[in-house]
Amino acid sequence: GMVTCVVHDNGAGIPLEMLATVFDKSATDPEKTGTGLGLAIVKQIVEAHGGTVSAESVHGAGATFTFSLPSKEDS
């Protein structure tokens, strides 16, 4: 019983060398502004609810973010 959500964009993608740390605090693209907290917060919330989160990307061809959360048990 997991619910999985997938979000895909067609942006610039994430360079391979940054993909492993994309959910770390302060992980940012040096060419863009930002604090690097957004995806770290997402990971913390998802994991606090017993779920998982991941990212896949081809640089230049967008990124796909997937998160799964336990489904609510039927009463």
Per-residue model confidence as pLDDT tens digits over 13-69: 888 888 888 898 876 666 666 667 889 999 999 999 999 999 999 888 999 999 999
User: Residue ranges of the alpha helices (H) in 1-75?
Assistant: 16-19, 38-48
Per-residue model confidence as pLDDT tens digits over 53-64: 999 998 889 999
Report field, pTM of the whole predicted structure over 0.75: yes
